[in-house]
Structure 1
Amino acid sequence: MNDETIYALSSGGLPSGVAVIRISGPQTQHVLDALCGRMPEPRFATLLPIRNRNGEALDRGLVLYFPGPASFTGEDTAELQIHGGRATVRAAFSALDAIPGLRAAEAGEFSRRAFLNGKMDLVAVEGLADLVAADTEMQRRLAAEQASGGLSRLYESWAKRLTHARAMIEAELDFADEEDVPGSVAETIWDDMRLLHQDVVNHISSAQAGEIVRDGLRVVIAGPPNAGKSSLINYLAKRDVAIVTDVPGTTRDVLHVDLDLYGFAVRLYDTAGLRDTEDLVEREGIRRTHLSLAEAHLVLLLRDRPDAEIDSVKSVYTGPVIRVGTKVDRQESAWPAGTADVMISVETGAGIPELLARIGAYLPDISAANAQALPTRKRHFDNLRVVEDNLGQAIDAAHVGLDIRAEFLRRAAHALGRIAGRVDVENLLDVIFSEFCIGK
């Protein structure tokens, strides 16, 4: 239990209709006595005056008290729900500052205390951070599942299987002469370890889907100069993101906008036109275009005529491509069959619904019952790779002693424990909790 009591505004920007000030720590009861004159009944909202140390009334608001350990942080916690004017909140903060032993909370400190007090593991904490930051419905669903412990329960079930396997091996190694110890570990655990290994492999294969849901589908709009790339991104963004002129090479940098498509985040990148040029600034823009192509999930390859040069895109990108013919409203003749997947015009809107539908086809299918249990962060993926590798080595090492195979399983269990924060994660905490806003 931390011996400091912290407070912060937890309800967002001011002014607002209501401001929620959260307090957590061993002095919470003393704070409520000092500000409100008495303790409210636990877990019941009570309308009370809020006063400073001189007895001056600052406001009246709803006060809630949550005794630890049955609270968000696991400590005594309280909330002051007062009017959300800037002056009112400043006065409340001044009253809190005047109480010895209180200090303002750092970013993510309430959630960090919840983790340290065993109220959440790291996967749930990261899900909570993603839930606060969610912009789309699918981001909300994935984050809510992880914040509620869905992914943690999956990893916990794997950890139990590993623990059982290791216990059986230790029993055979240490108590081989006992009658109630199985004589062959292979018959009791290795079939399950093979199934677990396949479960981990399948889970890792869903990592890109988790990345797309959390961070968005990265779609790069590429093609030669004046193909209509900036016009398309402006049309989809419904605002002037990029400069549009008839002069080739106008776009010198990589611009992006975020769209909500079918509840998923889609990040569209407008890139410099690909061509040979002596202009140093334009060449730098083309270099950045190549970098964007290397990280893309999907490329929209735009051309305003069927014979336009596109080989420079194919030389740096080998993933899925949607070939888009542009300026269809200006075309005097149809394009030859097979030269474009969709024809569009940003002047008339022709073909745009079909283009969005084709982009939507590259969004992950998370309709299955357990599809929300997806790894979403690089540290999840990296540790899962270690789990997969060590499980594979333990399974394949039938020619070596059980003690060696047991060590592989121990390493797998250790890596799995790092995901949830069970072992050896102190160096990760500052990074993870810094993602939170103040007051969470």
Structure 2
Amino acid sequence: MAGLTRNLPLPRSALLRSITHPQSKEVLDRGIVLWFPAPHSFTGEDSVEFHIHGGPAVTAAVLQALGSVPGMRPAESGEFTRRAFQAGKLGLTEVEGLGDLIHAETEAQRRQALRQMSGELGHLYQSWSQNMKRCLAHVEAFIDFSEDELIGDGVLTRVDGMVRDLQSEVLRHLRDQRRGERLRSGVQVVIAGATNAGKSSLLNTLCQRPAAIVSPIAGTTRDVVETALDVGGFPLVLSDTAGLRDTRDLVEKEGVRRARERVAQADLTLVVVDSSLLPTDVKQAPDFLQDHLRNVLLDQKQIHADLPSDRFLVVLNKADLLPEQQRQMLKVNFGCISGLPQVCVISCHTNEGLQDFLATLHSRVKTLCGDPLSGAPSLTQARHRAHLQQCVAALDQYQRYRDLDLALAAEGIRLALTSLGRITGKVGPEEILDIIFKDFCIGK
């Protein structure tokens, strides 16, 4: 880098320097230069940072000058992070946390990614890995040396307890209701309901833009209209769907099929109901609403099933069409009915009740995602979940074969360790030997 600037600054010191072309000696810019000698750099290699002005001409000129230096080339996508991983500067979970931090779009996503990047999740998995290595080392030592009376029977009893504890910890970690994965990829929220209930109007109101076509003609929305949304720092993937009704129109029928499919997969469904359809006698409204929800959301095979209230939020739209007294009575009556999903009374036309609805939606989404800064670190990747499930199954193998074939039982621990290794990094056989000789001092 000496060709682009006059003398490198002291390590980790920021100095203002003229940045020149190495051949023509033309000054390209004046910027800050930082020098990070190995191994104290992001990648563990000698590194130089140029903090230049951000105009496209300046950037292009400096990049062209760098490209003219023999042996210099642009880094490939992710190459800096890959080199940091290979140099042991970052673990696999920290690399994934860095990637999530770069792509974070909401405050909660940023917090979760930063926590994972700090190594907290990796440290948890590494602690499990260390305990499994110790278990495997002790079992293998018992297999190899118990006949020489160098290893007592109590070793296996301790291993049994450690394996049970490890399995319980991993299972507890897996029972997180996918909060971390939801936060990373966005909570799947579906807007569903009968035709002309105001589903597209609700989508446009939440997005604050005309994302979907609004028309008084029933069946306007025939496909799924999807958009991303930030609600109080939590990410939502909001889907408007076709009105749920029986139809002979083949295109609309496909839209209805897709709508029901999205509802089945959704983390939360906003069921929009035209409040003008409710009976004028408010006391009859709850029974009417329960029947309406079953008829709209459930097929004939499920018509008498209960709706899981934690997966649905009822939105009584078009409240502006109701008399003031009826609106107020609806809000009071629907606030204390068991067996019915939570109800919000709003008007997309006048925005009445919108703030209360958004507060309720935020509360539901926060419950689905959890607080990324509290408790144990969350699972954020589907691949982590798959490997941890394999880890639990492998520890089961140890318990099944413990009294039948100790070699097969040891293989179960080895498979569990391999599954964890696919998350944190590979485990070499020399590490197992190190523990054997360290813990038992065999052959000293």
Mark yes or no: TM-score above 0.5. yes
Deviates more, 1:306-315 or 1:376-385: 306-315
What are the superposed Cα offsets for residues 297-334 of structure 1, whole Å, 9 maximum, x if unpaired? 01111111345565352349967212222111112556
- 1:349 Cα deviation after fit: 2.5
Q: How far apart in 1 are the matches of 2:220 and 2:246? A: 14
Q: How far apart in 2 are the matches of 1:74 and 1:94? A: 25
Give the aligned residue type for 2:371.
I
- 1:369 Cα deviation after fit: 4.2
Q: How far apart in 2 are the matches of 1:167 and 1:386? A: 20
- 1:71 Cα deviation after fit: 0.7
| SS of residue in 1 equivalent to 2:237 | strand
Deviates more, 1:389-398 or 1:90-99: 389-398
Match of 1:233 in 2: 203
Task: Give the aligned CA root-mean-square deviation in angstroms.
Answer: 2.2
Alpha carbons of structure 1 residues 357 and 397: separation in structure 2 relative to 1, 3 Å: farther
What are the superposed Cα offsets for residues 245-284 of structure 1, whole Å, 9 maximum, x if unpaired? 1111111221223332232112221111111223333223
Q: How far apart in 2 are the matches of 1:114 and 1:69? A: 11
Deviates more, 1:304-313 or 1:289-298: 304-313
**Which of residues 9, 12, 32 is equivalent to 1:40?**
9
Answer whether contact 1:302 1:325 (CA < 8 A) is retained: yes
| SS of residue in 1 equivalent to 2:263 | helix
Match of 1:427 in 2: none
Alignment pair present for 1:330 and 2:299: no
Using the size of structure 2 for normalisation, the TM-score is 0.83
Match of 1:420 in 2: 424
Match of 1:131 in 2: 101
Answer whether contact 2:138 2:156 (CA < 8 A) is retained: no
Answer whether contact 2:372 2:378 (CA < 8 A) is retained: no
| SS of residue in 1 equivalent to 2:40 | coil
Q: How far apart in 1 are the matches of 2:354 and 2:399? A: 51
Answer whether contact 1:207 1:374 (CA < 8 A) is retained: no
Match of 1:388 in 2: 392
Match of 1:355 in 2: 357
Answer whether contact 1:224 1:310 (CA < 8 A) is retained: no
Larger Rg: 2
Match of 1:51 in 2: 20
Alignment pair present for 1:378 and 2:362: no
- 1:388 Cα deviation after fit: 1.1
- 1:179 Cα deviation after fit: 4.7
Alpha carbons of structure 1 residues 207 and 341: separation in structure 2 relative to 1, 3 Å: closer
% identical equivalent positions: 41
Match of 2:431 in 1: none
| SS of residue in 1 equivalent to 2:189 | strand
- 1:57 Cα deviation after fit: 0.9
Give the aligned residue type for 2:118.
S
Using the size of structure 1 for normalisation, the TM-score is 0.83
Match of 2:173 in 1: 203
Give the aligned residue type for 1:322.
L
Alpha carbons of structure 1 residues 390 and 196: separation in structure 2 relative to 1, 3 Å: same
Q: How far apart in 2 are the matches of 1:161 and 1:172? A: 17
Give the aligned residue type for 1:50.
I
Match of 1:64 in 2: 34
Match of 1:313 in 2: 297
**Which of residues 111, 125, 131 is equivalent to 1:155?**
125
Alpha carbons of structure 1 residues 39 and 309: separation in structure 2 relative to 1, 3 Å: closer
What are the superposed Cα offsets for residues 112-169 of structure 1, whole Å, 9 maximum, x if unpaired? 1111221112111010010011122211111011111110000000001101111110
**Number of residue pairs matched?**
392
Alpha carbons of structure 1 residues 100 and 158: separation in structure 2 relative to 1, 3 Å: same
Answer whether contact 2:4 2:20 (CA < 8 A) is retained: yes
Answer whether contact 2:13 2:34 (CA < 8 A) is retained: yes
| SS of residue in 2 equivalent to 1:265 | strand
Q: What are the equivalent positions in structure 2 for 1:9-408 lying under 5 Å apart?
A: 32-52=1-21, 53-206=23-176, 208-304=178-274, 305-306=277-278, 308=292, 310-315=294-299, 320-332=311-323, 341-359=343-361, 360-361=363-364, 362-366=367-371, 369-371=374-376, 373-408=377-412
Deviates more, 1:314-323 or 1:43-52: 314-323
| Structure 1 runs not aligned, ≥5 long | 1-31, 425-440
Q: How far apart in 2 are the matches of 1:153 and 1:232? A: 44
